[in-house]
A and B are shown apart, each in its own frame.
Chain A
Amino acid sequence: MTAVSIRNVSKVFNQGKPNQVEALRDVSLEVKRGEFVSLIGPSGCGKSTLLRLIANLLEASSGDVVVNDKSAAQARLDQDYGMAFQQAGLFEWRTVQKNIELPLELKGWDKPDRAARAKEMLQLVQLPEFADHYPWQLSGGMQQRIAIARALAAHPPLLLMDEPFGALDEMTREYMQGELLRICAATGSTVVFVTHSIPEAVYLSNRVVVMSPRPGRITKTVDVSLGADRNEDTRNRTTFFEAITAVREGLRGMHAAHVGLGNDDR
């Protein structure tokens, strides 16, 4: 069962113009249902572009993108995925509850159904008492949890996340990672997660896909065998560090014998 299947995809921006950029070259990737896959790499490696191709916010220049056994375009029309960005991007004129209801509203749900689902999602992200607050009354971490609730409101099978915790401080960030794993376990969602933090990618993922720039391509895939049950102790396990080392080596190419010094996770 594959949730996302990318075959020989390339993406060129401004084709034929002087400012032509080859963002992705010949990328292939399969994401199984229920899997958590992170895309990691330096800026300009095309990880966000790849995510937007899956979301059908961009069209591939060549190759196929299949989401949920249909074309990416059809999957978008069917709202088969939910998306979360670095900026929580909540609508400041809507209450928290109305923000979560937005995708349901656009799907044409009735008001009582929307309200019931929003309440359910607020329970899931453990912020039920904030339904009538406005986003600007919430902390950054809480806003991001609401954004995740919004992304999952329509129960999409797939969750696409573009550096969702990138703007949060380190403590909030680790807390949010735990929350995300808990939420994913509860919903059984498939996740494609873009990040530039190595520990974050390793802690969350079943598989870390390492990408490199100019042109953007996949250079290495690291399987993370930390099991399903992850908690704060996971961060101290040898397997965790081994996976981090493997990802870091992938990011440095073949020149990375001296692992673990400097250039940490940025």
Chain B
Amino acid sequence: MTALVVRAARRTTMFVAALALVVVVWESYRAVGPQDGGTIAGVRILPRTSEYAMPHVWDMFSRFGRPEVRGSDRTVFESVLAGAWYSFRLSAAGFVLGGVVGVGLAVLMARFKTVQRGVLPYLVVSQTVPLIALAPLVVSWGGKLEVGPFVWPRWLSASVLGAFLAFFPIAVGTLRGLAAASGSSVELMQSYAASWTKTLFKLRFPTAVPYMVPAFRLGASASVIGVVVAEISTGLKGGIGRLIIEYAREATGDPAKVYTAIFGAAALGLTMAGVVVAVDVFVMRNRPKESIS
């Protein structure tokens, strides 16, 4: 337990130190870099250091505390928090959907080699489709979908796109984990005349856990990216993605503002990953410490 605390403390320190380093680099360059950036033969190779291109870090943070628009009693912080919370719920829905689809596909592929041979290449191809191109399509398909009283809500398209990015690492990682059971442990289950389903739940899934945890971690951040990109490209209101474009439009007059939304998106991704890490620590608590991660 103490070792765990020490490790957590060390990680936190490293995280803060890395963050501080980024701030130092940003501000140092801001202080010494040329106002117009560096140009060689008309090509700009260094960014400008003007107030508009690189606002001070403290300006970004102080912007959180000031009103969103002049005269409004709602601070930027409140708006960013509300937006991040909205996107978080969409991402969580996408993550759960992607998890169910990913694990389901992995089980099918592990059960039937023909399915694996037939489906796996398409899964790989599916990830090469640019999300930006797919987003409007999903929205328009969803809009046409109406099953009885069920009407496709606009936010669901964003979640579906999150799931679209999340399911892939989950499916691949879970499949690898399901196949990781040793030959003798499979024979052991056979010797007990255990059915395929029993073997799946008593042997294959527990064996797969160390493979599934990092896969789910990737899936969690992927679902956030999917949702934020979908919000941006479909203009869905309410989420952090929309805030990023709105604030970016004000960059000329209020350059620090867009960074608040970007920080919000980063915090959102970290929160999602953090939830998965917490689950990781819980499910792996009784495993040997030198197992794969």
Binding site for B on A (CB under 8 A): 52, 55, 57, 76-79, 81-83, 85-87, 89, 91-93, 95, 102-103, 105-107, 134, 136, 160
Q: Which of B184, B202, B291 contacts A102 (CB 8 A)?
A: B202
Q: Note all chain B residues with C-beta closer than 8 A to A107.
A: 192
Binding site for A on B (CB under 8 A): 182, 184-185, 187-188, 190-194, 198, 202-203, 206, 209, 286-288, 291
**Which 4 residue pairs spanning A and B have beta carbons closest together?**
A136-B288, A85-B184, A83-B191, A93-B206
Evaluate contact between A92 and B187: CB separation under 8 angstroms.
Answer: no
Nearest B residue to A137 via CB reads B288
Evaluate contact between B191 and A106: CB separation under 8 angstroms.
Answer: no
Q: Give the CA-CA distance A92 to B207 in the complex, in Å.
A: 9
SS of B interface (majority): helix
Q: Note all chain A residues with C-beta closer than 8 A to B291.
A: 92
A-B contact pairs, 6 of them (CB 8 A): A79-B193, A81-B191, A87-B182, A105-B202, A107-B192, A160-B191
Q: Note all chain B residues with C-beta closer than 8 A to A87.
A: 182, 184
Excluding A85-B187, A92-B291, A103-B192, 16 further A-B contacts by CB distance (< 8 Å) are A57-B187, A76-B190, A76-B193, A78-B193, A79-B191, A81-B191, A83-B188, A83-B191, A85-B188, A87-B182, A93-B206, A93-B286, A95-B286, A102-B192, A136-B287, A160-B191
Q: Give the CA-CA distance A55 to B182 in the complex, in Å.
A: 18
Nearest B residue to A83 via CB reads B191
Q: Note all chain B residues with C-beta closer than 8 A to A160.
A: 191
Q: Note all chain A residues with C-beta closer than 8 A to B188.
A: 83, 85, 89
Q: Give the CA-CA distance A76 to B187 in the complex, in Å.
A: 12
Evaluate contact between B202 and A106: CB separation under 8 angstroms.
Answer: yes
Nearest B residue to A93 via CB reads B206
Q: Note all chain B residues with C-beta closer than 8 A to A92.
A: 287-288, 291
Query: Given A55-B191, A76-B191, A79-B192, are A93 and B209 also a contact pair (CB < 8 Å)?
Result: yes
Q: Note all chain B residues with C-beta closer than 8 A to A134.
A: 286-288
* Closest beta carbon of chain A to B213's beta carbon, Å: 13
